[in-house]
């Protein structure tokens, strides 16, 4: 068992003919991910690393009805259209790698996805990996190994760092989800935690947060309320970052005391979460709670 | 992208919001001619158009009792820096006599994934203090992005504020206009603070709009030169021109990473091991060799950085591209030699490390080793 992706994941790559789409299709195939089709409007009939290219998701699905997941590499200006196309084709999971999508567009397609029962991960995220089964993302596959630790993260590169450190200590991962660094994302910490709570293979969770926003505080609240019962350790990036740029009065009023490093650590520790000072303390903390 | 007050007011006026009658004077304009022909009736408010907070307290807003005085105040303000910035535009408006100052804004509540309207009877410069001390005095209302802000919802907000009679409708239509501008301009923020009530009319005395940088390409008409920042250092503005995400700090260890999380963590590590970072520089995801070269050259030339710690964990970023960029930068750099410590892991790490080692640079696998060396070398 795992969450979101696994052996039964069959992928369509949207934007497969672009630089990143093609390169990462190759890496995902090498990892063992089942990629059935690719889509680039106007490039139908071609092939990328042995994967057939179609003009639309609909056509790809006619030929490959087993497809249930999309990964989107489409450039920012056309990315939300691609996401809607995947949602309307009935796909259950859409992983959006694209960086730079206007937040108003993300706001609309994440709300739309929810109304249709589609899970959107991202945008601006590294994707999801269930080690040994499927990699739907751009993360370097070799730093992961299979085991009992779930990871949910706002920071791509720190995810690699911590997974690598865990792997080196023999602590494998059940599923690793990079939720993305944009202000609005399709899957939040607490939504991912609901999935990990139900996954019997996951015996501990690592939360990788960042300063800003209130997702870590919400995760802490969920733990306090007893809705997440597995042991949790966390790392928050940005301890020494100078206070960031603020966005008018409205941003400050909305956030009111949430979002800085101290507030996140305090909330998590109050909920019984051990917070690591640096990524390399995570393996030690995890082995203590397992 | 922050819009100037006069741009924000111009946009809101097109959506039906009442704003004071005014005229914009650009640097180099015939100030006297423009104001004389404007038909504005004194008293006038002369407002420096700078994109920094706290403009009023810094002396950027002046009252003129005559057109003549407005002319000299305008000329004065063009040469009067606000937090280090000299304005390119001055807005001269008719003063609106008012006894109340209200607040209204629309932004995105990120965790709720909804636009949110914030409104209060207590606007002005102390709105954040009021939010802290009397949070119940601020009405928050989440909007369904598919429905938009409907009239009855906007009137509900007005009622919740305690507004009565005809003002309910005029306040509600202000909110709807703000909401429509918020959507049409892909705004991170539309804020009217303060706004006031004259009879049954609602007037926007000041306005701010921030357009999402990812969407600014949709609005070519807003592509005017903007003087921004204020507290930006020389090296920060140089970095901005190069398109680098760079923040100057007090220390001596130059820091560069890929991704904000890893770059911040690299700074945290420098502190933890007893050093002080000279900067934050994030090359972002999927940087090309060309971009890496630009960033490394920048840090080589940045005098505060006595040594450089480069921390790369490639996902979409390819280690071989990074290695090529580092090598090209070091080849091109002709200044005083500076020690560079590179940690390289992730996508194509073997190719990247080989390139570096062939060039005579050690590639670290463990960032802690690289940090310790970089701190020692900076001393």
pLDDT of residue B260: 86
Domain end: B69, B94, B119, which one? Answer: B94
> Is residue B85 domain-shared with residue B109, that is, in the same domain?
no
Cβ of A277 within 8 Å of Cβ of B349? The answer is no
Amino acid B133: pLDDT: 85
More confident residue, B112 or A40: A40
Helix axes A76-88, A103-116, angle to 10 degrees: 10
SS3 (DSSP) at B366: coil
Whether B128 and chain A come into contact, CB under 8 Å, resolves to yes
Number of H helices, E strands in chain B: 12, 16
**For position A246, what pLDDT does the model report?**
47
B74 has a pLDDT exceeding 90? yes
Cross-chain CB nearest to A157 (options B214, B249, B259): B259
Cβ count near B37 (within 10 Å): 10
Q: Is the confidence at residue B53, as pLDDT, over 80?
A: no
Instruction: Give A78's contacts in chain B (Cβ within 8 Å).
Output: none
Chain centroid, CA B371 distance in Å: 31
Same domain? For B89 and B191 the reply is no
Of A102, A126, A242, the CB nearest to B212: A102
Structural domains in chain A plus CATH codes:
10-121 (3.40.50.720), 127-289 (3.40.50.261)
- Contact by Cβ (8 Å): B222, B216: yes
Tell whether B30 and B143 lie within a shared domain.
Answer: no
Q: Tell me, yes or no, whether B292 and B351 share the same domain.
A: yes
Tell me, what's the pLDDT at A244?
55
Measured CA to CA, the distance from residue A61 to residue A82 in angstroms comes to 14
User: Which domain-ending residue is among B183, B217, B251?
Assistant: B217
pLDDT over 70 at B229, yes or no: no
Classify residue B2: in a domain, yes or no: no
Same domain, B191 and B240: no
- Tell me, yes or no, whether B15 lies in a domain: no
Structure tokens at B80: 């009067």
Q: Which domain holds residue B346?
A: 234-378
CATH code where residue B118 lies: 3.30.470.20
- Residue A164 pLDDT > 60, yes or no? yes
CA A227 to chain CA mean position, Å: 21
pLDDT at residue A251 in the model = 60
In a 3-state reduction of DSSP, which class is residue B340? Answer: strand
State whether B255 and B365 are in the same domain.
Answer: yes
Query: Measured between alpha carbons, how far is A193 from A209 in angstroms, rounded to an integer?
Result: 14
Q: β-pairing, B187-198 with B201-204?
A: antiparallel
Residue B10 placed within a domain? no
A50 or B233: whose pLDDT is higher?
Answer: A50
Provide the pairing of β-strand A146-153 with A204-210: parallel
Name the pLDDT band for B54 (thresholds 50, 70, 90). Answer: confident
State yes or no: pLDDT of B233 exceeds 90. no
Contact map slice: A 32-51 vs B, CB within 8 A:
none
Among B111, B212, B314, select the one facing A213 at the smallest CB separation: B111
Q: Give the pLDDT of residue B125.
A: 72
Residue A92's pLDDT is 96
Residue A245: its pLDDT value, please? 46
3-state helix, strand, coil in chain A (%, to 5): 40, 25, 40
Same domain, residue pair B134 and B86: no
Look at A70 and B57; give whichever has higher pLDDT: A70
A139 touches chain B (CB under 8 A): yes
Report d(CA A135, CA B163) in Å as an integer. Answer: 56
- A101 touching B (Cβ < 8 Å): yes
Catalytic residues of A, by residue number, are 249
- Please report whether residue B128 resides in a domain: yes
Average pLDDT over residues B155-173: 96
pLDDT at A249: 63
Q: In the prediction, which pLDDT does B191 show?
A: 96
**A254 has pLDDT over 90:** no
B226 vs B67: which has the higher pLDDT: B67
Look at residue B116 in the predicted model and tell me its pLDDT.
96
Same domain, B190 and B165: yes
Residues B117 and B187 in one domain: yes
Instruction: State how far the Cα of B75 lies from the Cα of B81, in Å rounded to an integer.
Output: 12
Q: Count Cβ neighbours within 10 Å for each residue of A56-82 and write b for 16 or more, e otherwise.
A: ebeebbeebeebbbbbbbbebbebbeb
Q: Is residue B16 part of a domain?
A: no
* Stretch A206-216: mean pLDDT: 91
Residue of A182 and B294 predicted with greater confidence: B294
Q: Is residue B12 part of a domain?
A: no
Cα–Cα distance measured from residue A210 to residue A181, given in angstroms and rounded to the nearest whole number = 9
Instruction: Say if residue B248 is in the same domain as residue B374.
Output: yes
Query: Region B118-143: what's the mean pLDDT?
Result: 87
pLDDT digits (tens, 9 = 90+) for B200-216: 999 999 999 999 989 99
| Tokens found for residue A147 | 């085991």
CATH code: domain of residue B370: 3.40.50.261
- What is the per-residue pLDDT for A212? 83
Query: Is the Cβ of B137 closer than 8 Å to some Cβ of chain A?
Result: no
Q: Do B260 and A155 make contact, defined as CB atoms within 8 angstroms?
A: yes
**Is the ipTM value over 0.85, yes or no?**
yes
Q: Are residues B109 and B147 in the same domain?
A: yes
The mean of the pLDDT values for chain A is 94
Question: Pick from B50, B66, B94: which residue ends a domain?
Answer: B94
Q: Which of B76-90, B116-130, B319-333 has the highest mean pLDDT?
A: B319-333
Please indicate, yes or no, whether residues B57 and B165 belong to a single structural domain of this protein. Answer: no
Is residue B290 domain-resident? yes
Kindly report the pTM of this predicted structure. 0.91
Rounded CA separation A225/A228 (Å): 8
Active site residues of B: 103, 191
Q: What is the pLDDT of residues B270-307, one digit of tens each?
A: 999 999 999 999 998 889 999 999 999 999 999 999 99
Report yes or no: A2 at the B interface, CB cutoff 8 Å.
no
Q: To 10 degrees, the CA torsion angle through A156, A158, A159, A160?
A: 100
Task: Convert the pLDDT of each residue in B3-13 to its tens digit.
Answer: 999 999 999 99
Q: What is the average per-residue pLDDT within A136-163?
A: 96
pLDDT, one tens digit per residue, over B236-263 is: 889 988 988 898 999 999 999 998 889 9
Q: Considering the domain boundaries, does residue B207 fall inside one?
A: yes
Instruction: Give how many domains chain B has, as a whole number.
Output: 3
The pLDDT of residue B160 is: 96
């Amino acid at each position: 068992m795992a969450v979101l992706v696994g052996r039964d994941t069959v992928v369509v790559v949207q934007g497969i003919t672009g630089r990143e789409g093609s390169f990462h299709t190759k890496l995902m195939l090498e990892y063992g991910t089942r990629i059935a089709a690719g889509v680039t409007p106007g490039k139908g009939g071609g092939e990328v690393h042995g994967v057939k290219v179609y003009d639309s998701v609909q056509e790809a699905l006619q030929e490959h009805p087993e497809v249930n997941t999309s990964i989107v590499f489409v450039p920012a200006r056309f990315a939300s259209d691609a996401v809607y196309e995947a949602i309307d084709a009935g796909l259950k999971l859409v992983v959006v790698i694209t960086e730079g999508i206007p937040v108003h567009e993300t706001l609309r397609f994440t709300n739309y996805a929810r109304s249709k029962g589609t899970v959107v991960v991202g945008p601006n995220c590294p994707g999801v990996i269930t080690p040994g089964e499927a990699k739907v993302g751009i993360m370097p596959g070799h730093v992961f190994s299979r085991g009992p630790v779930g990871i949910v993260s706002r920071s791509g590169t720190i995810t690699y760092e911590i997974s690598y450190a865990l792997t080196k200590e023999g602590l494998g991962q059940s599923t690793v989800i990079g939720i993305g660094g944009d202000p609005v994302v399709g899957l939040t910490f607490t939504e991912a935690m609901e999935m990990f709570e139900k996954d019997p293979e996951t015996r501990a969770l690592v939360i990788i947060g960042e300063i800003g926003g209130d997702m870590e505080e919400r995760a802490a609240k969920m733990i306090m309320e007893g809705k997440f019962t597995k042991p949790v350790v966390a790392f928050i990036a940005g301890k020494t970052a100078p206070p960031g740029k603020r966005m008018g009065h409205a941003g400050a009023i909305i956030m009111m005391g949430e979002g800085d490093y101290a507030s996140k650590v305090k909330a998590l520790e109050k909920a019984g979460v051990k917070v690591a000072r640096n990524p390399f303390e995570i393996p030690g903390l995890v082995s203590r709670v397992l | 992208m922050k819009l100037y007050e006069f741009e924000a007011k111009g946009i809101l006026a097109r959506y039906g919001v009442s704003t004071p009658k005014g005229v914009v004077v650009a640097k180099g304009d015939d100030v006297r001619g423009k104001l004389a022909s404007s038909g504005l009736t004194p008293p006038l408010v002369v407002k420096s158009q700078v994109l920094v907070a706290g403009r009023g307290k810094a002396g950027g807003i002046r009252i003129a009792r005559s057109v003549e005085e407005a002319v000299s105040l305008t000329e004065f303000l063009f040469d009067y820096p606000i937090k280090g910035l000299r304005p390119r535009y001055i807005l001269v408006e008719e003063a609106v006599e008012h006894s109340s100052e209200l607040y209204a804004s629309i932004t995105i509540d990120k965790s709720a994934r909804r636009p949110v309207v914030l409104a209060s009877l207590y606007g002005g410069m102390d709105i954040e203090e009021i939010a802290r001390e009397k949070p119940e005095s601020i009405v928050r209302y989440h909007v369904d992005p598919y429905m938009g802000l409907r009239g009855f919802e906007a009137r509900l907000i007005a009622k919740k504020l305690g507004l009565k009679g005809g003002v309910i409708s005029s306040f509600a239509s202000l909110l709807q206009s703000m909401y429509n501008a918020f959507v049409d301009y892909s705004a991170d923020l539309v804020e009217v603070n303060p706004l006031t009530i004259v009879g049954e009319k609602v007037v926007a005395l000041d306005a701010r709009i921030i357009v999402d940088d990812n969407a600014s390409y949709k609005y070519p008409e807003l592509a005017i030169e903007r003087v921004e920042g204020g507290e930006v250092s020389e090296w920060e503005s140089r970095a901005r021109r190069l398109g680098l995400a760079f923040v100057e700090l007090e220390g001596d260890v130059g820091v560069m990473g890929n991704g904000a999380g890893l770059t911040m963590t690299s700074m945290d590590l420098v502190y933890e091991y007893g050093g002080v970072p000279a900067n934050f520089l994030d090359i972002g995801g999927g940087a090309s060799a060309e971009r890496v070269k630009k960033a490394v050259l920048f840090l080589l030339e940045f005098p505060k950085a006595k040594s450089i710690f480069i921390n790369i964990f490639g996902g979409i970023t390819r280690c071989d591209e990074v290695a090529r960029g580092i090598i090209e930068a070091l080849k091109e750099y002709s200044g005083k030699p500076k020690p560079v410590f590179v940690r390289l892991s992730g996508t194509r790490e073997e190719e990247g490390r080989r390139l570096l080692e062939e060039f005579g640079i050690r590639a670290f696998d463990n960032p802690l080793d690289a940090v310790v060396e970089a701190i020692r070398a900076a001393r």
